[in-house]
Amino acid sequence: MKNIVILISGGGSNMAAIVKTAQRERWADCYGARVAAVISNKAQAQGLQFASAQGIVTEVLDHRSYPSREAFDAALAQLIDRYDDPGQPVLVLLAGFMRILTPGFVNRYAGRLVNIHPSLLPAFAGLHTHQRAIDAGCQVAGATVHRVTPELDHGPILAQAVVPVLPGDTADTLAARVLTQEHLIYPQAVAQLLRKM
């Protein structure tokens, strides 16, 4: 089995969309792939409950218990590597994982580390993407699935979705519109990767 490990920090709706799509599209049969574990850096992340209800292993690794970013990332890699196999390298998906990863971690999973970002990259890397898009007067916004490289929110683009910015939009209304598209493009981008793996 190709193991997929998903990292979350909060709601986990993108993770849930991937898990549901994997079930609906029978990724186990089609690609020999399964979501093996969901790891959160926050114990209260709501997504953990969904994942365990689906019978997926969940782990909490609180970054505050580690003296440095490097120490946290090393512990995270140790957890992830339980699902890694030289013949079947683990695929690591960031889904609302609100931690900046060290270059050492990113390089360890080079080519098999993917993120979703709520903007049309390369515009609006970083935080507060929806408010920044509104403030800039953008007429469209969206989301990007991309490979992770050491530079934050850069890396080759795998998929994008575009939504309109509507008059009267707030960061919240725009975020909700973008999120519905994230739930479509992230699972599809992952399926496309699995087909090639």
Q: Which residues bind to ligand GRF, rule: CB under 6 A?
A: 8, 10-14, 95-96, 116-118, 143, 179, 182
Query: Between 96 and 187, whose beta carbon lies closer to ligand GRF?
Result: 96
Query: Between 75 and 175, whose beta carbon lies closer to ligand GRF?
Result: 175
Query: Between 133 and 179, whose beta carbon lies closer to ligand GRF?
Result: 179
Alpha-carbon distance 153 to 99, whole Å? 12
Where are the alpha helices (H) located in 3-44, listed in sequence order? Answer: 13-24, 27-31
Residue nearest to ligand GRF according to CB distances in the complex: 96
Known active-site residue 117: yes
32 and 21 Cβ atoms separated by less than 8 Å:
no
Closest distance to ligand GRF from the beta carbon of 95 (Å): 5
DSSP letter string, 33-99: EEEEEEEESSTT-THHHHHHHTT-EEEE--GGGSSSHHHHHHHHHHHHGGG-BTTB--EEEESS---
Enumerate the β-bridge partners of residue 6.
38, 93
How far is residue 162 from each of residues 165, 170, 182, measured CA to CA in Å?
10, 17, 10
Query: Between 6 and 36, whose beta carbon lies closer to ligand GRF?
Result: 6
Closest distance to ligand GRF from the beta carbon of 67 (Å): 26
Residue owning tokens 């890396």? 155
User: Residues with catalytic annotation?
Assistant: 117
